Structure 1
Amino acid sequence: MFRNLPFFVVVILSVSSCNHVRVNADKQKSVSHVNPHVKAKQKSSGVKKPVPVWGYRFVITGDFNGDGKKDTLTEHYFSGIIHKETNKFYDNADYDYDWEMTHRQKPYSFISCNDPAIHKLEIAKEATFGLLYLKNEGDLNGDGRDEISLVRNNADFSSLNEYSIMTYKNNGWVNLYWFPIWEWQLPQLPEASNQYGLFGIDGVAITNSDTTNQRLLKELTSFGGLAKKVSKNKIRIIYRSKEISVDTIIVKLKDHHPPL
């Protein structure tokens, strides 16, 4: 009865082996059929790689050390990796990507003067996108020197910020006065500018049109700022108050900041 058993075992194993080969072959055909389709679909999606965008650099003039000569202040934005000027933003990317890349390259930003006697003003050691605003405010305190106002473009998702008024004194830049603001109180920047929603920054709008950038530059240079001298050591500020979204009050420079 069992003399033919080896023969049946061989037959069963042969059939099983054939079935296994056939299944694997079918799987390979299926994979070879699907993969080109997936690749083609990914290729046809048209996703563009992020493109570096230089971003605007502020340049202002004035007599900042009281020597009677015109000085020029220039914003710089350096990569902490190569220690050279670098781009601030990326086109074809969302704000999360801008934020991530900024923290990766550890940028540092500062303001330099064409007069080597005036020391550079450090904007920030930590990751920022440079400046949102820079302006010559004129001589606010009557010391014969022009003061400047600046707003840092923090690498965060908040629209809360500070408007700082700086003066050059004792061979260095010191904070004369500051007040809280909403970033959307400031004009848009040419080439790349923050976009704001109900809960803060929604993203960065990249402007590739020369005509639009020229218009934005004109609006920026004609913007009067958020501080204005009303008398010696007194200024009118437009700030973010506790009671309402935006308020206007007259303050004394000696107080250094409004009631908080």
Structure 2
Amino acid sequence: MKQTFCITLLILALLSCNRNSKKKVYHPPISANKDTVIKLTKLQKLFVVGDFDGNGKQDTLFQHNFSKQTQTEIEKSPDVFQNDWDNVVKWFDNQDSDLYLTTNKSNSDTLHLGAGQGLYCLINIGDNNDDHKDEIALVIDKLDFSRVNNCEIYSLCNKKWTELKHFGIHEGSFDFNNEKVPVFDKIKDFLEKQNGKWVYRDYLQDTYENESEAGKMKKLKLKKCN
């Protein structure tokens, strides 16, 4: 009996030693911060045709997006439908992008528009100030977090692109339901052609000469330039 008891104690001691000899394995936590994967798509670039210098011949004005970081033209950029807007903005900031317009003529003036993803619209609005040159209207797709924007109207004055007018618009005018981004030839509710004349409404205007003018579109009038 005593021998059996001793054997039992010996077995328990061996089992206890085996349990204590097992080492604990430490598994470090997996970091949740992973590099963001940016999904790219072909960058839409607009162009417009018109007689912008008044020589009676048609010119073509092209949109460009240039990366100062890589010193190359930006051909692909983050898809706004598949990436967070924050990441889109950071991507363009890292590119130090330069949005500008040039014509197909050598030695023509370049219209630099600053940083931007691109243009919502680039419209030839014809000769509204009787200087025998076509003006352009555009809205920059800005890298910001507001849907309030500006329509800018330019003309070649003394062979230099000059802003003739700007007014507030709401980017809701460019909402669409199709898969393909449309090319806009007007800014709904803010810049439209009615009865052969361009009319506009300033989204930011909050004072009117009389109540009947409130919210209504007005005839577009532009100053002349040489």
Q: Does the alignment reach a TM-score above 0.5?
A: yes
Q: Distance in 2 between matches of 1:115 and 1:103?
A: 30
More helix by share: 1
Partner in structure 2 of residue 89 of structure 1: 78
Q: Could you state the TM-score of these two structures normalised by the residue count of structure 2?
A: 0.72
**1:101-180 paired onto structure 2 within 5 Å:** 101-124=91-114, 127-180=115-168
Q: Work out the percentage of aligned pairs sharing the same amino acid.
A: 25
Q: Distance in 1 between matches of 2:84 and 2:119?
A: 20
Distance 1:251 1:92, change over 3 A: closer
Q: Deviations over 1:21-71 (max 9, x none)?
A: 43xx2x31x74xx98xx79xx9xxxx9932222221001100000011110
Structure 1 unpaired stretches of 5+: 1-16, 189-204, 256-260
Q: Distance in 1 between matches of 2:150 and 2:187?
A: 17
Partner in structure 2 of residue 3 of structure 1: none
Partner in structure 1 of residue 12 of structure 2: none
SS in 1 for 2:86: helix
Shift, 1:110, TM fit: 0.5
Distance 1:221 1:95, change over 3 A: closer
Is residue 227 of structure 1 aligned with residue 196 of structure 2? no
Q: Which amino acid aligns with 2:142?
A: N
Alpha-carbon RMSD across the aligned residues, in angstroms, is 3.7
Structure 2 unpaired stretches of 5+: 1-16, 208-212
User: Structure 1 residues 90-99 or 168-177, which shifts more?
Assistant: 90-99
Distance 1:98 1:134, change over 3 A: same
Question: Is the contact made by 1:65 and 1:118 (CA closer than 8 Å) also made in structure 2?
Answer: no
SS in 1 for 2:201: strand
